[in-house]
Amino acid sequence: MRGPVSAGITGRRTGGPARTTGLLGLWDLPCVAASARTARGHVRARLREETFHGDLDTVSLLVSELVTNSVRYSESGLAARPGTVSVVLARDARFAEIDVIDAGSRWSTPTVLHLPLGAERGRGLRLVREFSASWGVVIDASGCCVWFRVPWDG
Ligand SMILES: Nc1ncnc2c1ncn2[C@@H]1O[C@H](COP(=O)(O)OP(=O)(O)O)[C@@H](O)[C@H]1O
Ligand SMILES: [Mg+2]
């Protein structure tokens, strides 16, 4: 998938939030495990520069979970031939929004799992649901975008 950001804020279709106005950053990263760390570093640094007053640790955690999911489950994350995971950071007057975009998967879609407490897996999207103001998934022919918003002022 080239121009994966087209699935995100700039070209959001049904299922996305209202358009977010200010694009703060866009990073195309190799869809490998190490990019979770890279992504959270970029997002943190940019939010700091922009004097974000929300919870940076929460944003970092959620970015990591989503990038890790792209690596594990999307076709961008195929170990033999990693593609791209794109991270978009944007804001409007009230919220910071992060979009994590991959090439999608024939086998799975992002789904909140309802596993017993203490299960080894199934926490990532629950954390996103719990700690974001809103979130969602947009899937189209060009790929899969999982987005979330957190209050800009905490
Ligand atoms: N980017 C993605 N592409 C395809 N499927 C995904 C993606 N992210 C999550 N999923 C699906 O949603 C499920 C739940 O994700 P998550 O809550 O992070 O739990 P876990 O990663 O521990 O399984 C995953 O097991 C996977 O099947
Ligand atoms: Mg996960």
Class of domain 4-151: alpha beta
Residue 8 token pair: 């995100």
What is the per-residue pLDDT for 4? 39
Ligand 1 pocket residue status of 109, Cβ below 6 Å = yes
Please compute the mean of the pLDDT values over residues 132-136 and round it to a whole number.
Answer: 96
Which residue among 111, 127, 146 has the greatest number of ligand 1 atoms within 8 angstroms of its CB, and so is best to mutate?
Answer: 111
- Give CA–CA dist 52/41, Å, rounded: 15
Q: What is the chain written as a DSSP string?
A: --SGGGGTGGG--TTS-SPP-EEEEEEEEESSTTHHHHHHHHHHHHHHHTT--S-HHHHHHHHHHHHHHHHHHSGGG-TTS--EEEEEEEE-SSEEEEEEEE---SS-------PPTT-SS--HHHHHHHHSSEEEEEEETTEEEEEEEEETT-
Ligand of minimum distance to the alpha carbon of 74: 1
In tens, the pLDDT along 76-125 reads 999 999 999 999 999 999 999 999 999 999 999 999 999 887 898 999 99
- Between the CA of 10 and the centroid of ligand 1 the distance, in Å, is 24
What is the per-residue pLDDT for 116? 85
What is the per-residue pLDDT for 16? 56
- Between the CA of 110 and the centroid of ligand 2 the distance, in Å, is 9
